[in-house]
Structure 1
Amino acid sequence: MELVLPLPRCNDETSASYISWKNLKQRYHRFCKVDRKKANGVFLKNVLSKSLLIHLGGEEAKEMVKDFLKRDVDSFHAFLEGIEDLCLPRFILLYERFKFFTCQQNEEDDIGEFILEVKHLAKYCEFQDHIDRYIQRRISNGVREDEIRTKLQSEKNLMLTKVLDTC
């Protein structure tokens, strides 16, 4: 179902996925900073920064590096920008949608906590006009109690308000 939804434009700086990536990138740069007393506040050498990013990215990142080497990309900034152009924010969006579509009510959660969790996860999925429908379906499929789940799944033309009232 999530494959039916259009992916956002790569350069949409207002999307939750893009903002999430920018925050992750900022944390990565902070991690890579060398102690100011020892190196005057410069970033780790490009090679070390790339190596860490490749290690964190896994096999797919290694393949991208081969492509960048063919293009003679030597600065870390250009390397990181290239990865952004190829992967983001689509990867983050797909991950957020995965978290949403696999959300289930835990044994220790009451129904109210589960509904709040589903609504919170939906904020980052960029469902646009379909958000209520996806929340309704996730609650209907993810609720722990068999009786409620069966009742919700058996009704036709179910709206979010009806799901919330039933729960």
Structure 2
Amino acid sequence: MNLPQFERFSVHDEPTTVGSRWTKYVKRLDNLFTAFAITDAKQQRTLLLHYAGLEVCDIFESLPDTGESYVTAKSALEKHFCPQVNVEYERFGFRQCKQNESETVDQYCRRLKQLSSSCDFVNRDSEIKSQIILGCHSQKLRRHALREPQLTLEKLLGAARVFEQADRHASVIEGTTSVQAMNIRSSKAYQYQRQQHSTVPLPTSVF
């Protein structure tokens, strides 16, 4: 059987986020099982340990109540990793997240959604909306949101797309206008120089 490729799980790379990373890892593994129609519980259990790697296997061998199925193995590992999720720390990381220079508001929102998955927010969309208002680059978008206190996350993202498109279009128009103005100024300067040159009197011969 040719096994589909899947990444290992690194326990020690980022110890402070190991719980949230494990939860995401198992979700991706479940998606792989669905995509390849792997339904046998023992086979899923074997693949979980195979894919997760030696670090996880060493931990697994020391855990109680690991059972014989994928569900029991997954539950035992979840009990080990997930108590290490520090919700307050995860929320701190979320609050520190600002929009990067090179990303759109949609891309920024996707990053916030990933970060918020381990923050245990009561209203996730509301928290993401508030963080976009605080952390985005666009003063225009921020002021628009503050004028519309009932604005939803979906409508905020729609407004952001409109503003970003308008800014792109304006940059093209303004850039073209600037080039045209430079060309006109250059042409006028050239014509002036020619006129000046043509009106300079020729020197008279001394002979």
TMscore range, shorter length: 0.3 to 0.5
Structure possessing the higher radius of gyration over alpha carbons: 2
TM-score, normalised to structure 1's length?
Answer: 0.46
Higher relative contact order (CA 8 A, sep 6+): 1
TM-score, normalised to structure 2's length?
Answer: 0.38
